[in-house]
Amino acid sequence: MRDWLIYRTFWDLTVTGVALGSIYALVALGYTLVYGVLRLINFAHSEIFMIGTFASLITATNVLGLPMLEAGQYPYRTGFQLVLILLACLLGSMVLSGAGAVALERAAYRPLRGSGDQFGAVVLAFVSAFVVGLIFFDTPKSNLIFGIIGTGPIAWMYLNIFRRGRQAPRLAFLISAIGASTAITEAVAIWGPRDREQYQTPRVLEKKTLFKLFGTDIRIDYVIVIIGALLMMTALLLFVNRTRLGRGVRAVAQDVETAKILGVNVDFVILITFLLGGVMAGGAAMMFTLVYDQSKFNIGFLLGVKSFTAAVLGGIGNLKGALLGGLVLGLSENYGSALFGGQWKDVIAFVLLLVVLMFRPTGLLGESLAKARV
């Protein structure tokens, strides 16, 4: 078995590793942004990614009406039509993921920061009423109706008992995140049309080889992923460093109290941070479906863990660190799998993380959202 020397597949592994690494990096940005501002591991970020893959699926099939197969073959599209479809999917993923991230922030985190508002109360109340409804009804529809009716009074009650002005301990945020993550995943698994089965997304892009590099086929889907990820990251860096809002994000990351005194609307900045993370995850999700044509209720979990590893590897809170961490992780996973066998993939990732942290306790580039410069 050991005769499969890595050099024979080296460039193959490099291309796929960079492509997967780019997806890791985009998701890692979400972890790093939120961590930089709130010092919180947004455990539910992986579900934002999962929502993005489903948004892409819904856009392609329900909105654009693409079939899964046409006469037994993939529904390939070309030219302008293809570009439009891809852009529509990207937009759908970004919007839904962004919205999901914002809703998550306001319902599951904001009340814990002691500034719970109507939005959070309504979402929490609806979910509570829905859960109570599960007791009485068996059909999702009557459950929904019960949930909507119950929302009003429960939301009013919740608004009254929100612990205003009292910051919860950090662990509470983490558990709330875990709870939200579990609930979102399970909701998709229970009420999704295919339950816990895998979903397919229509494949519109024919995976043609564009050119050969060092004897390796460079496929178009990998090129799109790598270039797309670089573009999105550049846009994010420009936003954080060059705009007024971006300055606000950096200010809050540096010192919440001072930023507050200087008139920064901290809650709004946090919202923007989640939105940015969600949009990046949405982009990653669309690219993911482009390469792998699939989704599943629990698709985010492992990818989220890996992306978080990438964020820590690069230096959590550091935007460029997320990119570097993602690429390093994607590549080393691929090389490592080729050397030791695919079953050791995750072990390789975590051992790498351990070794890096031994020598650089704050990751490869160190943590510094506040000081990020282009």
Partner 1 sequence: MSLSESLRSVTSGARSVSRLGEALGKQSRSVRWSFGAICILALYLLPWWPNVPVLGWIVETPGTSFPSVLTDQVVIFVLVALGLNVVVGLAGLLDLGYVGFYAVGAYTVAILSSQHANLPWLLCMPIAVLVSMLAGVILGTPTLRLRGDYLAIVTLGFGEIIRITANNMHWLGDSRGISKIATPPSIGPLKFTVLDAKPYFFLGLTTILIVIFLLRRLENSRVGRSWNAIREDEDAAELMGVDTFKFKLWAFAIGAAIGGLAGSLYAGKVQFINPSNFPLQLSILFLAAVVLGGAGNMWGAVVGGALVAWMPERFRGFADKRVFVFGVALVLVMVFRPQGLIPRKIRKERWLESWKPSTETALGHKE
Partner 2 sequence: MKKSTLLRVSAIAVSLAFVTAACGSDSEGSVSEDTVVTEDTAAAVVDGVTCEGVSIAFFGALSGDAGNLGKNIRAGADLAVSEFNTANPDCQVGLVDFDSQGDPAQAPALAQKAIDDAGILGIVGPAFSGESKAANPLFDAAGLAIITPSATNADLNDNNWKVFHRALAGDDKQGPAIASYISKTLAAAKVGIIDDASEYGKGLADIVKTTLGDAVVASDSIDPKAADFSAAVSKMKEAAPDAIFYGGYYAEAGKLAKQLRDAGVTATLVFGDGVKDNGFIEAAGPAADGSIITCTCADGASNAEFAAAYTAKFPGETPQTYGAEAYDAAKAFLAAIAAGKTDRAGVLEFLVTYDAAGVTKQIKWDETGEVAGNAVYAYKVEAGVISVVGLIE
Among 163, 194, 212, 371, binds partner 1 (CB under 8 A): 163
The 171-210 contact track toward partner 1, x by CB under 8 A, reads xxxxxx-xxxxxxxxxx-xx--------------------
Q: Is residue 217 a contact point for partner 2 (CB under 8 A)?
A: yes
Question: CB of 237 within 8 A of CB of 319?
Answer: yes
Site residues (CB under 8 A) for partner 2, limited to 274-293:
288, 292-293
Alpha carbons within 13 angstroms on the beta-carbon side of residue 185 total 20
Total number of residues that touch partner 1 (CB under 8 A)? 58
Cβ distance to partner 2 smaller for residue 114 or 153: 153
Cβ distance to partner 1 smaller for residue 100 or 283: 100
Q: Is residue 20 a contact point for partner 2 (CB under 8 A)?
A: yes
Find the Cα–Cα–Cα–Cα dihedral 141, 145, 146, 149, rounded to 10°: 170
Here the tokens at position 17 are: 């590793």
Cβ distance to partner 1 smaller for residue 38 or 319: 38
Contacts of 54 (CB under 8 A, 6+ apart): 96, 188, 199, 295
Q: How far is the CB of 173 from partner 1 (least distance, A)?
A: 8
Contacts of 209 (CB under 8 A, 6+ apart): 217, 218, 219, 220
Site residues (CB under 8 A) for partner 2, limited to 294-353:
294, 296, 298-299, 301-303, 333-334, 337-338, 341-343, 345-346
The 346-365 contact track toward partner 1, x by CB under 8 A, reads xx-xxx-xx--xx--xxx--
Among 58, 64, 68, 218, binds partner 2 (CB under 8 A): 68
Residue 117, phi-psi category: left (phi > 0), alpha (psi -120 to 50), beta (remainder):
beta
Going by C-alpha positions, the residue among 37, 115, 87, 57 that lies closest to residue 277 is 37
Q: How far is the CB of 294 from partner 1 (least distance, A)?
A: 22
- Rounded Cα distance between 349 and 357, Å, is 12
Going by C-alpha positions, the residue among 316, 310, 304 that lies closest to residue 48 is 304
Q: Is residue 148 a contact point for partner 1 (CB under 8 A)?
A: no
Q: How far is the CB of 174 from partner 1 (least distance, A)?
A: 7
- Rounded Cα distance between 317 and 312, Å, is 8
Q: How far is the CB of 191 from partner 1 (least distance, A)?
A: 9
Q: Is residue 61 a contact point for partner 2 (CB under 8 A)?
A: no
- Rounded Cα distance between 187 and 208, Å, is 37
153 binding partner (options partner 1, partner 2, none; Cβ < 5 to 8 Å by kind): partner 2
The 223-262 contact track toward partner 2, x by CB under 8 A, reads ----------------------------------------
Burial class (CB in 10 A: 0-12, 13-18, 19+), 198: exposed
Handedness of CA 291, 296, 302, 304 (dihedral sign): positive
- Rounded-to-5 percentages of helix, strand, coil across the chain: 75, 5, 25
Q: Is residue 290 a contact point for partner 1 (CB under 8 A)?
A: no
Q: Is residue 238 a contact point for partner 1 (CB under 8 A)?
A: no
Site residues, partner 2 (CB under 8 A): 1, 4, 8-9, 12-13, 16-17, 20, 68-69, 72-74, 132, 134-136, 153, 157, 195-198, 200, 203, 207, 217, 219, 288, 292-294, 296, 298-299, 301-303, 333-334, 337-338, 341-343, 345-346
